[in-house]
Amino acid sequence: MKIILLLSTLFNITIARRISCHACLNSICYKRATILKGHKFSGQLAIDRNSNVLYFHYQNNRSRDFTGAFDLDKVKFSFVPNLGFTFGHAVDQSTKDLYASGTKGIYKYNPKENKTELFALKEKTIWHMQFDDKLYYTEFQKKGLYTYINKNSKIIPELSEHQIDDFIVDKKGDIYFMSNYTIHVFRKGAKSPVLFEDEIYSLTTDKDGNAYFIQPYTRGIYNVNYRSKKLNEVGAFGKASAFKLVFDGDNHIIYYDVTNKNLFYLSPTLNICSVGTRGKHRKMFIATTSRSYKNHKKNNLSSIKNITEII
Ligand SMILES: *[C@@H]1O[C@H](CO)[C@@H](O)[C@H](O)[C@H]1NC(C)=O
Ligand SMILES: *[C@@H]1O[C@H](CO)[C@@H](O)[C@H](O)[C@H]1NC(C)=O
Ligand SMILES: *[C@@H]1O[C@H](CO)[C@@H](O)[C@H](O)[C@H]1NC(C)=O
Ligand SMILES: *[C@@H]1O[C@H](CO)[C@@H](O)[C@H](O)[C@H]1NC(C)=O
Ligand SMILES: *[C@@H]1O[C@H](CO)[C@@H](O)[C@H](O)[C@H]1NC(C)=O
């Protein structure tokens, strides 16, 4: 009797201290805070990492289009003027300017003056963009990847035959891109791109330009091990799926979950967790423990933001 009581007490303690992790990254349990709830997004998320301002397009419940700016440090939302529907988004981290593509053309938003102007390619429909010392872009339903410098578009000849759905340029200048449901890499200085992973991933880079890969079906998140040049498992997300994801200026993750149309900010907790796989498709799940890291060095909690729902 005593033993049963003792066991159940222990069990209760375990249950009571059991926490749920919205993501488990490098064995640290992350909790999410909602930035935006129940709005339909389309296109890319982009972030000015110096000011921690996040840019995105969304539709309100009357199907009106807005391009929004959310200041994570000041916890303040504002509209980007003269931009409704936009799809591609990229920020030049050195000037803080936002490049946003509309149904036609690329617009440039200067946040210091709070002004938007038509910037380039007013006849073209631009799909994805990234700014990495220059502007890279793809055209909607067209092959190839382009750069735009001094009012000139230039195709990258080695990629001119690929239909590119998503791409990133990492810290090495290597271009990872999704084409025909597989990930290819075009390494800087190489003659041609090569197959990297025979699966669908969504792609992003962190604040230091490290390449990250998110598998929408298993919910796993990976980065590139730059020594082995292979994928390294970072962890997994809880219930979310179909991601768009960016890293902010503190390398914290902001992601959009298509299933519930919410935009979230992830912050680390002091709890540890582990990631397992189950089923023949190796869907990932997070196992939480009641243990915690009291003095975990990687966990700089002083940079965590206090975000509550804004729209
Ligand atoms: C749309 O949003 C407004 C403001 O949040 C709300 O008052 C209204 O009930 C919503 N309408 C629908 C149809 O959901
Ligand atoms: C920029 O201008 C728009 C439209 O006038 C306004 O809604 C928005 O709040 C302004 N943004 C900032 C950061 O002042
Ligand atoms: C796409 O991949 C499939 C097989 O994985 C191949 O049969 C097909 O030819 C590829 N399509 C293109 C356009 O490369
Ligand atoms: C933790 O974050 C704060 C704010 O971003 C920063 O000032 C501080 O240097 C960081 N500390 C460590 C140990 O990284
Ligand atoms: C976070 O913000 C809420 C609402 O503004 C406030 O009640 C709470 O004390 C804040 N928490 C911290 C840790 O700053």
Q: What is the pLDDT of residue 285?
A: 75
- Ligand 4 atom closest to the Cα of residue 300 is 1
Nearest-angstrom CA–CA distance, 39 and 260 = 9
Q: Using pLDDT thresholds of 50, 70 and 90, give the confidence band for residue 276.
A: confident
> Within 10 A of 148 (CB to CB), how many other CB atoms are there?
20
Helices and strands (H, E) in the chain, number of each type: 1, 26
Residue nearest to atom 1 of ligand 2 (CA): 114
Distances (CA, A) of 218 to 127, 165, 244: 26, 20, 15
Residue 162 in this model has a pLDDT that exceeds 50 = yes
Nearest-angstrom CA–CA distance, 70 and 78 = 6
Distances (CA, A) of 79 to 24, 87, 112, 287: 33, 15, 14, 40
- Among 31-35, 91-95, 295-299, name the one with the lowest average pLDDT: 295-299
Q: Is the CB of 300 under 6 A from ligand 4?
A: yes
Helix (H) or strand (E) holding 237: strand 230-237
Query: Cα(282) to centroid of ligand 2, in Å?
Result: 46
Helix (H) or strand (E) holding 13: helix 2-17
Q: What is the pLDDT of residue 142?
A: 96
pLDDT tens-digit series, residues 41-90: 899 999 999 999 999 999 988 889 999 999 998 888 999 999 999 999 99
Q: What is the pLDDT of residue 239?
A: 80
Q: What is the pLDDT of residue 10?
A: 40
pLDDT tens-digit series, residues 168-224: 999 999 999 999 999 999 999 999 999 999 999 999 999 999 999 999 888 899 999
Q: Which amino acid, one-letter code, is at 281?
A: H
Residue 229 in this model has a pLDDT that exceeds 50 = yes
Nearest-angstrom CA–CA distance, 176 and 293 = 35
Q: Using pLDDT thresholds of 50, 70 and 90, give the confidence band for residue 39.
A: confident
Distances (CA, A) of 265 to 210, 241, 309: 20, 15, 10
Instruction: Give which of 36, 86, 45 is closest to 66, Cα–Cα.
Output: 86
Residue nearest to atom 9 of ligand 2 (CA): 78
Residues 6 or more apart whose Cβ sits within 8 Å of residue 100: 55, 57, 67, 80, 83, 86, 87, 88, 89, 106, 107, 108, 109
Three-state secondary-structure class, residue 303: helix
Residues 6 or more apart whose Cβ sits within 8 Å of residue 168: 130, 175, 176, 177, 203, 204, 205, 211
CA angle 151, 135, 109 (to 5 degrees): 85
Q: Using pLDDT thresholds of 50, 70 and 90, give the confidence band for residue 11.
A: very low
Residue nearest to atom 11 of ligand 4 (CA): 300
- Among 59-63, 123-127, 275-279, 283-287, name the one with the lowest average pLDDT: 283-287
Mean pLDDT of the chain: 87
Ligand in closest contact with the CA of 311: 1
Q: Using pLDDT thresholds of 50, 70 and 90, give the confidence band for residue 98.
A: very high
Q: What is the pLDDT of residue 114?
A: 97
